[in-house]
Amino acid sequence: MEVVGQKKSVGKTSRRDVLKRGGALGLAGVGLASGIGTRRAVAQTGRIKVNVINGGGSLSLLQVVLLKELKLFEKYNIEPNLLNVSDSAKILVGLISGEGDICAGAGYNGLFPAIDRGAKVKIVAGANLAPLNILYSSKPDIKSVKDLPGRTMGTGPLGALLHLQAVAVMKKHGVDYKKVNFANVGSSVDVFKSLVAGNIDAGVAPIEFRDTASKFKLQPLVDGEIWKELPLYANQAMFASDKAIAEKRQGLIGVIAAYGDMFRWMANPANKQAYLAYYKKAISNGSDEEGAFMQDFLSKPGALATDLVLTEAQLTYVQELNIEVGGQKNMVPFSQCADMSLAQEALKLIKA
């Protein structure tokens, strides 16, 4: 896996690359770099060394560029070692093994059953809150989720993020999701490719294609804009191992503060032109229209965790969905699965 250090250049990725590589976005490997846990906690610069694991995706790449250009890690005295892996399961493995200290933004519904089985991990802050996916269809007669029973719906693995979001939208509208044929296609970009190829009838695919879907003979469902349909669904969270919380607390708080500061910058409409320049730097072939759409979307209230803290109601909602689809047996108490004190301390740093 490519290890992206703060002092190393960030590679550019085109939208064509996204479609070709199914969302890998130029981050080559899927394993974690070895030996990270043995490195010194404080770098030679005097800043606190923290190993940050994230998933792949265009937003993750953009945020790496923003953190670098805005010098936010330096601002909070952090020397980051940034790693990207292919999915949340590998992030969890990396945190439990000690090779990573914190995930600064990924789907987290798989944490609850793991914690119930004894995994020593906690959710410590919110991240990208608004779901960045839409329910699309490649069939003209599928206009809403009520048209999905009996059809093939592309998602990721059953019980994972894409499947869970699709189920939640169907439940909201009284659709029996058990009558829908779910196909594990892979990532949201893989779903989009499968839709374009006509291999599935509908699917959960990235928001960035909403305004260009018609070029691929696709259309969003009328009730398919997930962030509107599921306002209580927090899309991504930051999470860390109990060990890292105990041993690197100040470093984790610094990382959370850096991301929270970045969220506030991204949410500020006054930064639109700078945002678009950084967007082009991160995603070289991304269109101006796509960049402007994402900036407008992310600047809306609630799209990003500008206040960092997640509520018990938000985590309970996701757990109830997990239990509904059979991915989780028992409800995990808030105190066992979350520690928002780090986010609260990070907020104090940002305000200071």
The domain in which residue 242 lies consists of 3-129+234-351
Residues 326 and 212 in one domain: no
Structure tokens at 320: 């109830």
Q: Read off the pLDDT of residues 296-336 as tens digits, 9 standing for 90 and up.
A: 999 999 999 999 999 999 999 999 999 999 989 999 999 99
**Are 81 and 224 part of one and the same domain?**
no
Domain end residue (candidates: 183, 198, 229): 229
Residue with tokens 């409409």: 269
Q: Do residues 223 and 229 lie in contact, with contact meaning Cβ atoms separated by under 8 Å?
A: yes
In total, how many domains does the chain have? 2
- Written as one letter, the residue type at 189 is V
Task: Give the domain-ending residue among 212, 229, 246.
Answer: 229
Q: Does residue 107 sit in the same domain as residue 253?
A: yes
User: Rounded to an integer, what is the distance from CA 137 to the centroid of its chain?
Assistant: 23
Strand order in the sheet with 181-184: 181-184, 152-155, 202-206, 133-137, 219-225
Buried b (16+ CB within 10 A) or exposed e, 21-43: bbbbbbbeeeebeeebeeeeeee
> Which residue is listed with tokens 């997930």?
226
Residues 121 and 164 placed together within one structural domain of the fold: no
Residues 269-276 have a mean pLDDT of 94
Over residues 86-116, the pLDDT tens digits come to: 677 788 888 988 889 999 999 899 999 999 9
Same domain, 244 and 173: no
Together in a domain, 120 and 245 = yes
Please write the tens of the pLDDT for every residue from 21-75: 333 322 323 333 333 333 344 445 689 999 999 877 778 889 999 999 999 999 9
pTM for this prediction:
0.84
Asked if residue 234 lies in contact with residue 318, where contact means CB atoms within 8 angstroms, the answer is yes
CATH number at residue 8: 3.40.190.10
Q: Quick one: 105 and 73 in the same domain? A: yes
Q: Considering 198, 229, 260, which residue would you say is the last residue of a domain?
A: 229
